[in-house]
Amino acid sequence: MLGELSGVAKFFLVTGYTDMRKSIDGLMAVVRDTYELDPYSNSLFLFCGRRCDRIKALHFEKDGFCLYYKRLDNGRFQWPRDSSEVRNLSRQEYRWLLEGLSIDQPKAIRPARKKEF
Flag whether 23 is in a domain: yes
The answer to whether residue 4 is domain-embedded is no
The helix (run of H) or strand (run of E) holding residue 86 is strand 86-89
104 in a structural domain? no
Q: Band the pLDDT of 108: cuts 50, 70, 90.
A: low
**What total number of domains does the chain contain?**
1
117: pLDDT strictly greater than 80: no
The SS3 assignment for 34 reads helix
What range defines the domain where residue 93 resides?
10-98
Contact status, residue 13 vs residue 82, Cβ threshold 8 Å? no
Q: Where are the alpha helices (DSSP H) in the chain?
A: 24-29, 91-98
Assessment of whether the complete model's pTM goes beyond 0.95: no
* pLDDT tens for each residue of 31-86: 999 999 999 999 999 999 999 999 999 999 989 999 999 999 999 998 888 777 89
Question: Is residue 110 in some structural domain?
Answer: no
